[in-house]
Copies of this chain bind each other. A is one copy, B any other.
Amino acid sequence: MNTETLHNLLLQVQQGNIEIAAALETLRALPYTDLGYARLDNHRALRHGFAEVVLCEGKADAHVAAIMAQLCSGPGPVLGTRASPVQFAAVRERVPDVRYNELGRTLTWAPQPLPKQGGTVLILSAGTADLPVAEEAAETADVMGNRVERIYDVGVAGLHRLLSHTEQLMAASVLVVIAGMEGALPSVVGGLVRAPVIAVPTSVGYGAAFGGLAALLGMLNSCASGVTVVNIDNGFGAGFAASRINRKKYE
């Protein structure tokens, strides 16, 4: 049942072609029909301002190219995450103006970029090895219509590097703080700023880092109040959450 079907049903009620009891019965099943599907889908499109996000990792190259080509037949913007260089090449053959962030492994296509709203989303990373995750977060926030700034390689073992950017920190609307190893940066940043802080643990490290578990636990136990956390290496999720927070401000 879609909108048209529903329209027809109501028309029949209006014209007396169907009893109210029968219509009632039909409508009781309505919450779980395709109509709901379609409606929510539109809501989703309205909400995030672009059709869908494609997780490229684990998909065949041709598959990624086909999906992206289809999505890019709409108005965009379109975002693909965890895309390999080969996947980028495959997509570019069908979508010539697609853009690839090699470090962040993102594909973006935005002929009509969303207008920048809200304040600044500031992306911080503790080390250079965290850059892929940081860039994924930055590209996500950017394509979703946020002003994005980056401060990289400001780990807590060299505190002065972070402290020299205090003004920029304090001016940000939302902060995405990315760190591997012991994951201490969000605690320090959370103590310096007033804005919401989203912490992203990365799998950077070895041995007892246990693939990002150490950083994850560290961030969940942050002594700075109000820090929230996403999954290990989930730059996309952090960028997405930051956008939800940032763009809300000016509704």
Q: Main secondary structure on chain A at its contact with chain B?
A: helix
A3 an interface residue at 8 Å Cβ cutoff?
Answer: yes
At the interface, yes or no: A221 with Cβ under 8 Å from chain B? yes
B218 touches A182 (CB 8 A): yes
Q: Is A110 an interface residue (CB 8 A)?
A: no
Is A212 interfacial (CB-CB < 8 Å)? yes
A52 to B192, CA, bound (A): 15
Q: Does the CB pair A192–B159 fall under 8 Å?
A: yes
> Contacts of A48 on B, CB cut-off 8 Å?
194
Which residues from 22 to 59 on chain A have a C-beta closer than 8 Å to any C-beta of chain B? 23-24, 27-37, 39-41, 44, 47-48, 53, 58
In residues 82-135 of chain A, which contact B (Cβ within 8 Å)?
A: 126-127, 129
Cβ 8 A contact of A229, one of B39, B206, B228: B228
B218 lies within 8 A of A210 (CB): no
Q: For the complex, give the distance between the alpha carbons of A59 and B3 in Å.
A: 46
Other-chain contact of A30, B30, B161, B191, B232 (Cβ < 8 Å): B30
Q: Is B194 a contact of A47 with CB atoms below 8 Å? A: yes
Q: 9 shortest A-B CB distances, which residue pairs?
A: A207-B232, A32-B166, A31-B31, A184-B184, A228-B228, A157-B191, A214-B217, A182-B218, A157-B224
Residues of chain A having any CB pair with chain B under 8 Å = 3, 6-7, 10-11, 13-14, 16, 20, 23-24, 27-37, 39-41, 44, 47-48, 53, 58, 126-127, 129, 155-161, 163-167, 173, 181-184, 187-188, 190-192, 194-196, 198, 201, 203, 205-234, 236-238, 240-241, 243-245, 248-249
Contacts beyond the supplied A28-B35, A182-B221, A210-B217: 4 A-B pairs with Cβ under 8 Å? A182-B184, A182-B223, A228-B237, A229-B229
9 interchain pairs, CB-CB under 8 A: A31-B36, A36-B160, A156-B187, A182-B222, A183-B218, A207-B216, A214-B217, A225-B237, A227-B230
